[in-house]
Chain A
Amino acid sequence: MDTATKPIPTFALQQVGDPNVGVCEGDACIVDDHHSQAFVNRQIDEGLV
């Protein structure tokens, strides 16, 4: 979605959480490379993978 077509929110929300986590927008699902790899590495360190 480009800037010109961004919706104007009617209801205000207090945004919380990490802004760099995985999210799907339009037909693309994006994630910051470093963040996702760091997460997987942590899971491996914790023996969860």
Chain B
Amino acid sequence: MNETATNANEPVKVDIWSDVQCPWCYIGKRRFEAAIESSGVAVDIEYHSFELAPDTPVEYEGTPIQFLSERKGLPMAQVDEMLTRVTDIATSLGLNYDYEHIHQTNTVKAHELLHYAKAHGRQLEMKERLLEAYFVKTEHVGRIEDLADIAASIGFDRDDVVRVLESSEYLPAVKADMDLAMQYGIQGVPFFVIDGKYGVSGAQESESFANVLTQVLTERDA
């Protein structure tokens, strides 16, 4: 992470821990974006990796409903009901989650791709593309070849993406983010660290995010 910004004119640093297959992360992203717009506060966003289920096989055979039912020991109907609630909230924000066709998978390579994109100065663009790929377009975000296609769709060099993902060049960066999450005591995502001192857990309403951003600026002016 960068040092905490202290100059009143500098953007507020926001570090966000998130996973690609976290429904609240996409919802939280939209709400935070709304907060940026409504507050008018300039921010510098950096995404960090958080693997919610690192033991998930890349080629998991089944739907997210089956996955959650198996993992949590809940009836499929109950899981379906939970996901319907999340989907309704996503829909209200213009995000059309397609849980009938989503590919549950392992997201470590997607996280490596996010670090690759960050190294190219395009992490935010990649983050949005991967969330859209998983929840809306129901593309596979676990396989290297599929991730390379996704990256190529927004202009990245496909062959180079395959090379870095096969070599696990950015795996240490993913693990470093997970270690940092542990140091912050982060147990769930999305998790926002604002200006290095405020911790905001979950997909808060945009007003809550805006209040924190405004408070940071107020403190700088004091």
Contacts and interface: CB of A to CB of B under 8 A. Distances in A.
Contacts of A18: 202, 204-205, 208
B188 A25 contact: yes
A39 B31 CA distance: 13
Contact of B189 (A10, A15, A23): A23
Interface in A17-48: 17-19, 21-31, 33, 36-37, 39-40, 43, 48
Contacts, number: 123
Contacts of B212: 16-17
A16 B199 contact: yes
B198 A16 contact: yes
B170 interface: no
A17 to B, nearest CB: 5
B24 A29 contact: yes
A48 B25 contact: no
Nearest to A26: B52
Given A17-B212, A22-B86, A40-B89, A27 B67 contact: yes
Listed residue (A17, A24, A33, A36) with the most chain B CB atoms within 10 angstroms of its CB: A24
B201 A23 contact: yes
Contacts of A22: 23-24, 27-28, 86, 89, 202-203
Contact of B86 (A8, A15, A19, A29): A29
B182 A7 contact: yes
Interface of B: 19, 22-25, 27-28, 52-53, 56, 67-68, 71-72, 82, 85-86, 88-89, 91-92, 181-190, 193, 197-205, 208-209, 212
Interface of A: 1, 6-11, 13-19, 21-31, 33, 36-37, 39-40, 43, 48-49
